């Protein structure tokens, strides 16, 4: 009880000092919970793991694709893979641990249904997985490779950048590996730290010849993954792992495609354009509500979906309307994909801008473990940046 | 802050096998195990039921250690993001064989017997007592005498040994070198002679010599500034032609960069070799790559790329697809002994073996990787000795003996397709030429060494001696052929020089199957730039 009194006093003290920003930051970090709840011998609230930094907002049930089923993200992925293997007899799925269903259960049941020659484990070697996948694709068969975590894609970087991306160009279109799709879990998950939280899309954005796609939801994931698999270019499909179970919505059972390189305005607005992809789209949605509620600001929220080649037209069109742009991603600030968007938009929409373009990103550090709540570009940081843009 | 609802286990629309569903249940660890937590200062609780004999039997099950969650569970399965779920992250570990007994009851039959007696459940007590006599105690380890003296490890199948001894790698007398002809072109063991018809052997000879002639002329052309770069194949023609001849014409070839003889054997026209080196408008590769980066879809020769060994796992994937398609095709993958040091080589070998792919790994061990001799490239017995480490059938052959190369490749091909397994052929040879036109090998090896191979052990001369020995070739034919092949090469060469380069628009196509909007804008931007500044660019040499 004494501890509580002390912390409560500190809280009041802060208020008195008028350090509203600090209070916001403390609240955002979830410390408020710790300040209001007493420590005890068992179940110390301050030690409990953080609540997620976003709320998944399901989209309304799609009407135009037939019967739907409630699915989470990994189930939507399974459904897409199931559809692909059913439709395309050459399609195979491979990677580490995919045979038993995968560490994120994305391939559960597929080996039983389609056979061990179509859904199989490979040795633990990412450069092998991607190289092998390229080889399959060169013969014209469909190769769906899984990299267990996007953090482990780097051994395959040479095969992706120097081989897959350049196969068609360097051969004068005699050969290609367009039927290759690489899938990998992506982004922060609350406790992943350096090697289970990365968002490496920026490394690949710099590589002409591949496509890079990040879905925000189960419905988007299935449609975008099917588009990637059927696309005639090698694609990397990053799946936000924190959404695997947390994101649930109605998803069509039959196959359908969501076009690549088309960004989506998921909420129209007039004062600020907010651009994000993957998990961060849900953070932006909340930021948009907060902005409307607290500042009376109308935000246009755009889900970029495809990082490469990206839909400049939709973003520029929006910024021309609103005059302000905020881009947010978990990946570190420097060289992150927000810098590419920012650079292009200021070239194309310079005279329309009312304020400098804002980027709210992860810090230029490796992704930390215990400090994750401070690291991620949460809604408070985005809100604060938006506020500054409005008041510019 | 609430999170989106957590789906219950029963939602899975796909076939979620019952065993997997069991694995998804949170651990029951800690329930019923161990005494209740004692708060400080409170009187010590005795055993739950207070009766000594009874408690003794209970202690038996109290002392069972709680099953440990697997280390990997936390990472593979991210815990639910909300705090309402009190249990730690799901574990994939099974435990206790799924006992049907309540955790509160003793798990051993004797204890159960005693318990039942005391609680007046006589029938249960008698039954449990009988079971206790029939079955050994659960706490005691069951004894399997027949498995005592053999290792049970899943990772290796071997015997035990009680003498400490390291395996000595054998590099002094390593894997022997298979050959058919001696250095003078004489068949050593007649039963190994493939008895190829005259026409075929002449084709071998003409392919190798035509390649040699083309190499000389194109090397010179680089020296004269006509092409930017070139790599010769001197001394290795036997590896190309012997192996190419042993394949079906539709077998897929993944090369490194020193396998032009394979294309030559498959009748790739001189015009197209030249077109690629000149990057002219006839180049099927549309002028995008440095010279000698050939490719031909029609002849199943995958376009060469500069990064070394990247083709190795790709060849394995292609072989896997061929196996699935029941194509009766083999994939052959060429690489040098230097490239074999790359991680991609290790990856390719391991995948080929584990995934049972019909692929031939053909290593040209020519003694040097640019300036790096084999003594600095590896310390084991070459590349062939690595094969068994992966479970791959392996052989070492005399790469300058075109029949040995032919025989080995032929047999490897037959078995690779029939048995769906990879084969490794290490063809020993010597790189007589420099690494490329950017290299002067006198900086790192003696002229004497090079001369030995050129004069004493050359695939072309050995085959010529064989041909002459059979009466299928003579000096006059040699003279005539040299003149003719030179003439053919010179004609193709002059034609290639005269042709314009491809349209600069081809700089932008084939990045993707369809041109993205951004790239089209960049293409238009270059077009506008050339309109204003075209005089500073060599537009005259390019097609309009």
CA A206: distance to chain centroid? 18
Contact B284 A312 (CB under 8 A): no
Same structural domain, A240 and A294: no
- pLDDT in the model for residue A51: 79
**How far apart are the C-alpha atoms of B308 and B306, rounded to whole Å?**
6
Contact A174 B318 (CB under 8 A): no
Contact A209 B3 (CB under 8 A): no
- pLDDT in the model for residue B19: 44
- pLDDT in the model for residue B130: 63
Closest Cα in chain B, distance from residue A15 (Å):
23
Q: What angle do CA A142, A148, A150 make, to 5 degrees?
A: 95
Contact B4 A48 (CB under 8 A): no
Q: Which helix (H) or strand (E) holds B394?
A: strand B393-398
Same structural domain, A366 and A229: no
Q: Which helix (H) or strand (E) holds B75?
A: helix B73-76
Q: Distances from the Cα of B266 to the Cαs of A45, A98, B234, B241, B416, in angstroms?
A: 74, 40, 19, 9, 21
- pLDDT in the model for residue B172: 82
- pLDDT in the model for residue A125: 98
Instruction: Please confirm, yes or no, whether B93 is among the known catalytic residues.
Output: no
In this predicted model, what pLDDT tens digit does every residue of A227-284 receive, in sequence order? 999 999 999 999 999 999 999 999 999 999 999 999 999 999 999 999 999 999 999 9
Task: Tell me which DSSP letter residue B138 carries.
Answer: S
Report yes or no on A18 lying in a domain: no
Chain B: residue nearest A122 by CA?
B351
CB B281 within 8 A of CB A102: no
The phi, psi pair for B453, rounded to 5°, reads: -70, -40
- pLDDT in the model for residue B109: 55
Q: What is the mean pLDDT of residues A61-81?
A: 97
Contact B78 A159 (CB under 8 A): no
Closest Cα in chain A, distance from residue B140 (Å):
33
Contact B351 A123 (CB under 8 A): yes
Residue listed under structure tokens 């570990």: B93
Q: Compare B57 and A102 and report the one with higher pLDDT.
A: A102
Chain B: residue nearest A58 by CA?
B4
Contact B314 A138 (CB under 8 A): yes
Q: Does the CB of B12 have a partner CB in chain A at under 8 Å?
A: yes
Chain A: residue nearest B37 by CA?
A42
**How far apart are the C-alpha atoms of B468 and B474, rounded to whole Å?**
6
Task: Tell me which DSSP letter residue B544 carries.
Answer: -
Chain B positions touching A245 (Cβ under 8 A) are 6-7, 78, 80
Q: Does the CB of B308 have a partner CB in chain A at under 8 Å?
A: no
In this predicted model, what pLDDT tens digit does every residue of A16-34 receive, in sequence order? 444 444 444 444 444 444 4
Q: Which two tokens stand for residue B104?
A: 């509160």
Q: Tell me: pLDDT of B115 over 60.
A: no
Best mutation target, B81, B90, B296, to test chain A (most A CBs within 10 A): B81
Instruction: Please confirm, yes or no, whether B536 is among the known catalytic residues.
Output: no
Q: How crowded is residue B436: how many other Cβ atoms within 10 Å of its Cβ?
A: 18
Q: What is the mean pLDDT of residues B90-100?
A: 38
The phi, psi pair for A263, rounded to 5°, reads: -75, 160
Q: What is the mean pLDDT of residues B101-115?
A: 53
Same structural domain, A77 and A216: yes
Same structural domain, A174 and A104: yes
Same structural domain, A332 and A274: yes
Nearest to B272 by CA among B264, B255, B541, B252: B264
Q: Which two tokens stand for residue A343?
A: 């650079």
CB B208 within 8 A of CB B237: yes
Contact B317 A133 (CB under 8 A): yes
Classify each residue of B254-264 as buried b or exposed e, where b means 16 or more C-beta atoms within 10 Å of its C-beta.
Answer: bbbbbbbbbbb
Q: What is the mean pLDDT of residues B160-183?
A: 93
Nearest to A234 by CA among A131, A101, A337: A131
Classify each residue of A156-193 as buried b or exposed e, where b means 16 or more C-beta atoms within 10 Å of its C-beta.
Answer: bbbbbbbbbbbbbbbbbbbbbbbbbbbbbbbbbbbbbb
> What three-state secondary structure class fits B31?
coil
Closest Cα in chain A, distance from residue B61 (Å):
26
SS (H, E, C) A156-192: HHHHHHHHHHHHHHHCCCCCCCCCEEEEEEECCCCCC
Q: Which two tokens stand for residue B26?
A: 């949170």
Report yes or no on A8 lying in a domain: no
Residues 6+ away with beta carbon under 8 Å from A98: A106, A107, A110, A111, A119, A120, A121, A146
Q: Tell me: pLDDT of B99 over 80.
A: no
Q: Tell me: pLDDT of B70 over 50.
A: no
Report yes or no on A57 lying in a domain: no
Single out the residue in A232, A252, A272 at which a domain terminates.
A252
Chain A positions touching B21 (Cβ under 8 A) are none
Pairing relationship of beta strands A235-240 and A211-213 according to DSSP bridges: parallel
Q: Tell me: pLDDT of B117 over 60.
A: no
Terminal C-alpha separation, chain A? 45
Chain B window 77-106: which residues touch A at a Cβ cutoff of 8 Å?
Answer: 77-83
Residue listed under structure tokens 């985005």: A382
SS (H, E, C) chain A: CHHHHHHHHHHHHHHHHCCHHHHHHHHHCCHHHHHHCCCCCCCCHHHCCCCCCCCCCCCCCCCCCCCEEEEEHHHHHHHHHHHHHHHCCCCEEEECCCCCCCCCCCCCCHHHHHCCCCEEECCCCHHHHHHHHHHHHHCCCCEEEECCCHHHCHHHHHHHHHHHHHHHHHCCCCCCCCCEEEEEEECCCCCCHHHCCCCCHHHHHCCCCCEEECCCCHHHHHHHHHHHHHCCCCEEEEEECCHHHHCEEEEECCCCCCCCCCCEEEECCCCEEEEECCCHHHHHHHHHHHHHHHHCCCEEEEECCEEECCCHHHHHHHHHHHCCEEEEEEEECCCCHHHHHHHHHHHHHHHHCCCCCEEEEECCCCCCCCCHHHHCCCHHHHHHHHHHHHCC
**How far apart are the C-alpha atoms of B310 and B301, rounded to whole Å?**
15
Closest Cα in chain B, distance from residue A181 (Å):
14
So what CATH class is B190-499?
A: alpha beta
Pairing relationship of beta strands B368-369 and A325-332 according to DSSP bridges: unpaired
* Closest partner CB to A113 (pick from B15, B305, B343): B15
> Quick one: what percent of chain B has pLDDT higher than 70?
73
**How far apart are the C-alpha atoms of B118 and B55, rounded to whole Å?**
12
Chain A positions touching B289 (Cβ under 8 A) are 170
In this predicted model, what pLDDT tens digit does every residue of A156-182 receive, in sequence order? 999 999 999 999 999 999 999 999 999
In this predicted model, what pLDDT tens digit does every residue of B365-407 receive, in sequence order? 999 999 999 999 999 999 999 999 999 999 999 999 999 999 9
* Closest partner CB to A139 (pick from B7, B81, B318): B318
pLDDT band at residue B25 under the 50/70/90 scheme: very low
Residue listed under structure tokens 């037939």: A66
Closest Cα in chain B, distance from residue A16 (Å):
27
Q: Tell me: pLDDT of B261 over 70.
A: yes
Report yes or no on A352 lying in a domain: yes
Q: What is the mean pLDDT of residues A296-308?
A: 98
Contact A170 B303 (CB under 8 A): yes
- pLDDT in the model for residue B50: 40
Chain B window 199-258: which residues touch A at a Cβ cutoff of 8 Å?
Answer: 252, 254
Output the DSSP codes for B309-372.
TTHHHHHHHHHHHHHHTT----EEEEEETTGGGSHHHHHHHHHHHHTT--EEEEEEE-SEETTE
Closest Cα in chain A, distance from residue B196 (Å):
32
Same structural domain, A214 and A327: no
Same structural domain, A268 and A234: no
Closest Cα in chain A, distance from residue B31 (Å):
17
* Closest partner CB to B78 (pick from A155, A190, A253): A190
Q: What is the mean pLDDT of residues B319-347?
A: 98
* Least confident span in A248-257, A299-308, A331-340, B88-97: B88-97
**Average pLDDT of chain A to the nearest whole number:** 91
Task: Tell me which DSSP letter residue B49 carries.
Answer: T
- pLDDT in the model for residue B127: 62
Q: Tell me: pLDDT of B171 over 80.
A: no
Same structural domain, A237 and A288: no
> Quick one: what percent of chain A has pLDDT higher than 70?
87
Same structural domain, A233 and A161: yes
Q: What angle do CA B415, B421, B426 make, to 5 degrees?
A: 80
The phi, psi pair for B363, rounded to 5°, reads: -95, 120
Q: Is the pTM of this model over 0.90?
A: no
Same structural domain, A238 and A271: no
**How far apart are the C-alpha atoms of A306 and A235, rounded to whole Å?**
10
**How far apart are the C-alpha atoms of A371 and B361, rounded to whole Å?**
49
Q: What is the mean pLDDT of residues B3-32?
A: 41
* Closest partner CB to A242 (pick from B14, B81, B287): B81
Contact B355 A122 (CB under 8 A): yes
Same structural domain, A221 and A278: no
- pLDDT in the model for residue B471: 98
Q: Which two tokens stand for residue A19?
A: 């350090």
Contact A55 B2 (CB under 8 A): yes
Q: Does the CB of B118 have a partner CB in chain A at under 8 Å?
A: no
Single out the residue in A252, A286, A301 at which a domain terminates.
A252
pLDDT band at residue B113 under the 50/70/90 scheme: low
CB A376 within 8 A of CB A363: no
Name the active-site residue from B436, B441, B458, B485. Answer: B436
Residue A365's CATH number:
3.40.50.920
In this predicted model, what pLDDT tens digit does every residue of B418-438 receive, in sequence order? 999 999 999 999 999 999 999
Residues 6+ away with beta carbon under 8 Å from B123: none
pLDDT band at residue B4 under the 50/70/90 scheme: very low
Range of the domain at A341: 264-391
Q: What is the mean pLDDT of residues A64-79?
A: 97
Chain A: residue nearest B21 by CA?
A108
* Least confident span in A314-323, B70-79, B351-360: B70-79
Contact B4 A191 (CB under 8 A): no
**How far apart are the C-alpha atoms of A198 and A192, rounded to whole Å?**
9
pLDDT band at residue B124 under the 50/70/90 scheme: low
Q: Tell me: pLDDT of B21 over 80.
A: no
Chain A positions touching B83 (Cβ under 8 A) are 48-49, 51
Nearest to A284 by CA among A271, A302, A269: A302
Same structural domain, A199 and A340: no
**Average pLDDT of chain B to the nearest whole number:** 83
The phi, psi pair for A291, rounded to 5°, reads: -65, -40
Report yes or no on A19 lying in a domain: no
Residue A154's CATH number:
3.40.50.970
CA dihedral sign of residues A360, A364, A367, A372: negative
pLDDT band at residue B149 under the 50/70/90 scheme: confident
- pLDDT in the model for residue B170: 84
Contact B321 A242 (CB under 8 A): no
Report yes or no on A3 lying in a domain: no
- pLDDT in the model for residue B40: 44
Best mutation target, B298, B512, B513, to test chain A (most A CBs within 10 A): B512
Contact A232 B297 (CB under 8 A): no
Q: Which two tokens stand for residue B139?
A: 């706490």
Best mutation target, A128, A179, A286, A380, to test chain B (most B CBs within 10 A): A128
Closest Cα in chain B, distance from residue A151 (Å):
13
Q: Tell me: pLDDT of B243 over 90.
A: yes
Nearest to A243 by CA among A30, A53, A83, A67: A53
List chain B domain ranges: 190-499, 503-543
In this predicted model, what pLDDT tens digit does every residue of A182-211 receive, in sequence order? 999 999 999 999 999 999 999 999 999 999
Single out the residue in A201, A225, A252 at which a domain terminates.
A252
Chain B positions touching A241 (Cβ under 8 A) are 78
**How far apart are the C-alpha atoms of A291 and B435, rounded to whole Å?**
65
Q: How crowded is residue B318: how many other Cβ atoms within 10 Å of its Cβ?
A: 30
Q: Compare A336 and A4 and report the one with higher pLDDT.
A: A336
The alpha carbon torsion through A15, A16, A18, A22 (nearest 10 deg) reads -40
**How far apart are the C-alpha atoms of A160 and A148, rounded to whole Å?**
16
**How far apart are the C-alpha atoms of A377 and A356, rounded to whole Å?**
18
Report yes or no on A320 lying in a domain: yes
**How many separate domains does chain A show?**
2
* Closest partner CB to B285 (pick from A55, A171, A232): A171
Q: What is the mean pLDDT of residues B30-38?
A: 42
Q: Which two tokens stand for residue A364?
A: 């230029």
**How far apart are the C-alpha atoms of A65 and B351, rounded to whole Å?**
40
Instruction: Please confirm, yes or no, whether B135 is among the known catalytic residues.
Output: no
> Quick one: what percent of chain B has pLDDT higher than 90?
72
**How far apart are the C-alpha atoms of B71 and B78, rounded to whole Å?**
13
Beta bridge partners of A306: A213
């Amino acid at each position: 009880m004494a501890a509580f009194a002390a912390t409560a006093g500190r809280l009041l003290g802060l208020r008195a000092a008028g350090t509203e920003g600090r209070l916001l930051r403390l609240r955002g970090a979830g410390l408020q919970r710790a300040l209001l709840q007493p420590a005890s011998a068992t179940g110390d609230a301050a030690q409990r793991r953080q609540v997620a930094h976003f709320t998944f907002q399901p989209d309304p049930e799609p009407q135009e694709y037939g019967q739907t089923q409630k699915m989470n993200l990994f189930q939507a992925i399974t459904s897409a893979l199931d559809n692909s293997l059913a439709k395309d007899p050459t399609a195979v799925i491979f990677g580490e641990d995919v045979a038993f269903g995968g560490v994120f259960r994305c391939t559960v049941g597929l080996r039983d249904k389609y056979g061990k020659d179509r859904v199989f484990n490979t040795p633990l070697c990412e450069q092998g997985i991607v190289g092998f996948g390229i080889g399959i694709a060169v013969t014209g068969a469909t190769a769906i490779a899984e990299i267990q975590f996007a953090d482990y894609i780097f051994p395959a970087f040479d095969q992706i950048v120097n081989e897959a991306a350049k196969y068609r160009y360097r051969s004068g279109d005699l050969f290609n590996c367009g039927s290759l799709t690489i899938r990998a879990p992506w982004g922060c998950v609350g406790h992943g730290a350096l090697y289970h939280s990365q968002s490496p899309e920026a490394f690949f954005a710099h590589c002409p010849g591949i496509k890079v796609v990040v879905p925000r939801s189960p419905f988007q994931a299935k449609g975008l993954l099917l588009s990637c698999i059927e696309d005639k270019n090698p694609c990397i499909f990053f799946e936000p792992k924190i959404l695997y179970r947390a994101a649930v919505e109605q998803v069509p059972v039959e196959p359908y495609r969501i076009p690549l390189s088309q960004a989506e305005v998921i909420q129209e607005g007039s004062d600020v354009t907010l651009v994000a992809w993957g998990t961060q789209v849900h953070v932006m949605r909340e930021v948009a509500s907060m902005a409307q509620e607290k500042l009376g600001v109308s935000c246009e929220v755009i889900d970029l979906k495809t990082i490469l080649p990206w839909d400049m037209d939709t973003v520029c069109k929006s910024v021309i309307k609103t005059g302000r742009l905020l881009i947010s991603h978990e990946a570190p600030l420097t060289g992150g994909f927000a810098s590419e968007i920012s650079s292009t938009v200021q070239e194309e929409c310079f005279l329309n801008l009312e304020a400098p373009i804002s980027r709210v990103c992860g810090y230029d550090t490796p992704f930390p473990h215990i400090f994750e709540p401070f690291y991620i570009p949460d809604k408070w940081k985005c809100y604060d940046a938006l506020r500054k843009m409005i008041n510019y | 802050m609430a999170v989106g609802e957590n789906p219950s286990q029963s939602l899975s629309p796909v076939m979620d096998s019952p065993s997997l569903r069991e694995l998804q249940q949170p651990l029951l660890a800690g329930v019923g195990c161990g005494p209740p937590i004692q708060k400080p200062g409170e009187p010590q609780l005795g055993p739950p039921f207070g009766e000594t004999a009874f408690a003794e039997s209970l202690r038996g099950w109290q002392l069972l250690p709680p099953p440990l969650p697997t280390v990997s569970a936390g990472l593979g399965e991210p815990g639910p993001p909300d705090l309402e779920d009190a249990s730690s992250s799901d574990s994939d570990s099974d435990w206790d064989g799924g006992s049907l007994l309540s955790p509160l009851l003793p798990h051993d039959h004797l204890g159960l017997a005693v318990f039942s007696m005391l609680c007046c459940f006589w029938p249960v007590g008698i039954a449990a007592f009988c079971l206790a006599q029939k079955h050994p105690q659960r706490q005691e380890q069951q004894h399997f005498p027949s498995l005592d003296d053999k290792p049970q490890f899943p990772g290796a199948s071997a015997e035990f040994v009680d003498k400490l001894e390291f395996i000595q790698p054998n590099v002094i007398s390593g894997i022997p070198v298979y050959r058919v002809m001696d250095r003078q072109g004489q068949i050593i063991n007649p039963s190994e002679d493939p008895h190829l018809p005259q026409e075929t052997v002449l084709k071998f000879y003409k392919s190798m010599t035509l390649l040699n002639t083309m190499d000389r002329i194109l090397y010179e052309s680089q020296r004269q500034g006509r092409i930017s770069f070139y790599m010769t194949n001197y001394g290795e023609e036997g590896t190309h032609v012997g192996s190419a001849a042993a394949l079906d014409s539709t077998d897929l070839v993944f090369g490194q960069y020193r396998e032009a003889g394979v294309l030559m054997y498959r009748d790739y026209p001189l015009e197209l070799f030249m077109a690629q080196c000149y990057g002219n408008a006839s180049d099927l590769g549309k002028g995008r790559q440095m010279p000698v980066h050939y490719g031909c879809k029609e002849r199943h020769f995958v376009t060469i790329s500069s990064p070394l060994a990247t083709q190795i796992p790709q060849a394995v994937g292609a072989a896997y697809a061929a196996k699935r398609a029941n194509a009766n095709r083999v994939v052959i993958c060429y690489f040098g002994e230097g490239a074999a040091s790359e991680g991609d080589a290790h990856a390719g070998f391991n995948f080929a073996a584990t995934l049972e792919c019909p692929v031939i790994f053909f290593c040209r061990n020519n003694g040097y990787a640019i300036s790096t001799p084999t003594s600095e490239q590896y310390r084991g017995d070459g590349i062939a000795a690595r094969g068994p480490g992966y479970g791959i059938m392996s052989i070492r052959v005399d790469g300058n003996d075109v029949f040995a190369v032919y025989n080995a490749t032929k047999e490897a091909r037959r078995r690779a397709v029939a048995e769906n397994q990879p084969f490794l052929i290490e063809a020993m040879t010597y790189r007589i030429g420099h690494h490329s036109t950017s290299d002067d090998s006198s900086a790192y090896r003696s002229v004497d060494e090079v001369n030995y191979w050129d004069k004493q052990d050359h695939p072309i001369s050995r085959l010529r001696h064989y041909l002459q020995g059979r009466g299928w070739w003579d000096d006059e034919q040699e003279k005539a052929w040299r003149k003719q092949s030179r003439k053919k090469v010179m004609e193709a060469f002059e034609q290639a020089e005269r042709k314009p380069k491809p349209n600069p628009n081809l700089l932008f196509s084939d990045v993707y199957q369809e041109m993205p909007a951004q790239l089209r804008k960049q293409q238009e931007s270059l077009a506008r730039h050339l309109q204003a500044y075209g005089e500073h660019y060599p537009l005259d040499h390019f097609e309009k």
